[in-house]
Amino acid sequence: SQQGEEDPQALSIQEGENATMNCSYKTSINNLQWYRQNSGRGLVHLILIRSNEREKHSGRLRVTLDTSKKSSSLLITASRAADTASYFCAPTAVTGNQFYFGTGTSLTVIP
Amino acid sequence: DTEVTQTPKHLVMGMTNKKSLKCEQHMGHRAMYWYKQKAKKPPELMFVYSYEKLSINESVPSRFSPECPNSSLLNLHLHALQPEDSALYLCASSQGFVRLPYNEQFFGPGTRLTVL
């Protein structure tokens, strides 16, 4: 399966700090998406970056994509306690429209 | 309406029971998905329906039987489950399942299933 590997597995920061999480994947992609999941709930789509894009912003989120290294990063600036959640990357393989979630990063923002 | 609803929220069943999970969306999406998620793990894709036809079955045991009665509804019928099938079952939908560059999925809140 086309699964992403995320790093770190867990991250704990103080409110107001920035949080960075990384995703690496194995094959050529069409796009890569990031999702957030609050504990025991459904996932929420955060941002999609296409394979021909290098950087994308959405509010406090900044996503980068390096297709030569097969990696992406998600930066959350000025973190808030409400950002506490698990974050998953989801690379979409060129060969199909379905995608598989990465292993996830558990983010804890301490007030 | 950008909501995906799932019922029930919680379900406890014995290994000999038959039950069904339901999912509904009214966004006009033509692709619907079932995922299974164990604690502290990413969601695992189980089934994908595209235009009410089963497109993907990720080698899921036959004790899980999906059904898509129409473009808005998706069911997952459960029979003779095992305790290891206890998990959060998530439903999702997206605009389509053809070669689209954009395939954001909208997720329901999930059904927490416990098999005794």
Residue B79 reports pLDDT greater than 60? yes
Question: Considering only CB atoms, which residues of chain A are within 8 Å of chain B?
Answer: 3, 30-31, 33, 40-45, 48, 50, 88, 92, 97-104, 106
pLDDT at A4: 80
Instruction: Return the residue of B nearest to A102 by Cα.
Output: B42
pLDDT at B97: 59
pLDDT digits (tens, 9 = 90+) for B16-46: 999 999 999 999 998 999 999 999 899 999 9
| 3-state secondary structure string across A50-96 | ECCCCEEEECCEEEEEECCCCEEEEEECCCCHHHCEEEEEEEEECCC
Residue in B15, B36, B46, B23 with CA at minimum distance from that of residue B108: B23
Give the rounded percent of residues in chain B with a pLDDT score beyond 70: 92
Q: Looking at CA atoms only, how far is residue B60 from chain A in angstroms? A: 14
Residue B84 reports pLDDT greater than 70? yes
Q: Which residues of B touch A50 (CB under 8 A)?
A: 101
Residue B109 reports pLDDT greater than 60? yes
Q: Which residues of B touch A99 (CB under 8 A)?
A: 103
Residue B85, SS3 per DSSP: helix
Strands of the sheet containing A10-14, edge to edge, are: A10-14, A105-110, A85-93, A29-37, A43-50
At residue A87, what is the residue type? Y
pLDDT at B102: 53
- Residue B112 has a CB neighbour count (10 Å cut-off) of 15
CB A32 within 8 A of CB A91: yes
Q: Looking at CA atoms only, how far is residue B79 from chain A in angstroms? A: 24
Residue B11 reports pLDDT greater than 70? yes
Residue B12 reports pLDDT greater than 80? yes
Give residue B88's pLDDT band: very low, low, confident or very high (50, 70, 90): very high
Winning range, highest mean pLDDT, from A92-96, B86-90, B98-102: B86-90
Residue in B41, B35, B11 with CA at minimum distance from that of residue B115: B11
Please judge whether B42 and A33 are an interchain contact, meaning their C-beta atoms are less than 8 angstroms apart. no
pLDDT at B100: 54
C-alpha A61/C-alpha B17 separation (Å) is 45
Chain-centroid distance of CA B56 in Å reads 12
pLDDT in 10s for each residue of chain A, 111 residues: 457 889 999 999 999 999 999 999 988 888 899 999 998 788 999 999 999 999 999 999 999 999 999 999 999 999 999 999 999 999 987 776 566 899 999 999 999
Name the residue with tokens 């509010």. Answer: A59
Please judge whether B98 and A97 are an interchain contact, meaning their C-beta atoms are less than 8 angstroms apart. yes
Please judge whether A40 and B100 are an interchain contact, meaning their C-beta atoms are less than 8 angstroms apart. no
